[in-house]
Structure 1
Amino acid sequence: MKAILVQPDKSLTWSDVPNPVMGAEDCLVEIHCAALNRADLMQRDGDYPPPPGCPEWMGLEIAGKIVEMGEIAKEKSNYKIGDEVCALLGGGGYAEYANIKYDMLMPVP
C-alpha cells in the first residue's frame, strides 16, 4: 500500500509501505480522508515520535470504510464490513489503509 512518509529533508513522499497485519480485534479501514493537526506538524519536525507499535507515518485522525474485520471484532462490535467510521489513531492515518481496534472506532456522524 501507499503512505505519506517524511523524508530527511522534511519533504513528504507518497511511498510504498507494508500492508497492515490484522489482529483478531482489528478492523481494516480503507482511509478516505485524514486530518492535519499540530501533532502531525511536530512529528514532521521530529518533535513528536509515534507511540510504540504505531506506524512511522503521520496521521492521527481518519475517516473511511471498514473493508475487513478480525474474528473478535466481528463477534463483539456493532460494526460490519462497509460501515463508514472515523477514529483517532496513534499514527499511520496518512495511508491507504489502517488497522484499528474495533472499540476505537466511531460512526461517522
Structure 2
Amino acid sequence: MRSQVTVTWGEPAAYRIDLEEVQPMPHDQARQWLDEQFTQMGCEPLRATGKVLTVDKILCIAQAAGQDHFRDPGHREWALAYARAASAALAKPVITVDVPGQALAY
C-alpha cells in the first residue's frame, strides 16, 4: 500500500514525502509531536471557538514552517517527522496538505 504525505503551495511547489520504508510513528507520539510544533511555531487556532483540531494543527504547522522546511535538504528529518506525525495522527496512509487552500485530502 502506498504511503506518502504531500504538502503543496500550488503545483510547482508540491513536496512529496514517501513513507514506504519509514517506521510508523505511534499515534500518541504523533499527537504530542504536532502539539509541540504547534506551540513552538506560535500557531494560532483557525476557528473562532478556539478549538484546535488535528487537521488544523497539520495545516498551521505546514504554513508556519514554510516551503523551506520541505524543500531544503537540511530540514529533511523535520519534514519526515512532520509526514510521519500527520499520517499517524490521522491514521491515513496518503495525505495531501494544500496550504494556500487550507485543506487536507486523504
TM-score normalised per structure 1 = 0.29
TM-score normalised per structure 2 = 0.29
- Structure number with larger C-alpha Rg: 1
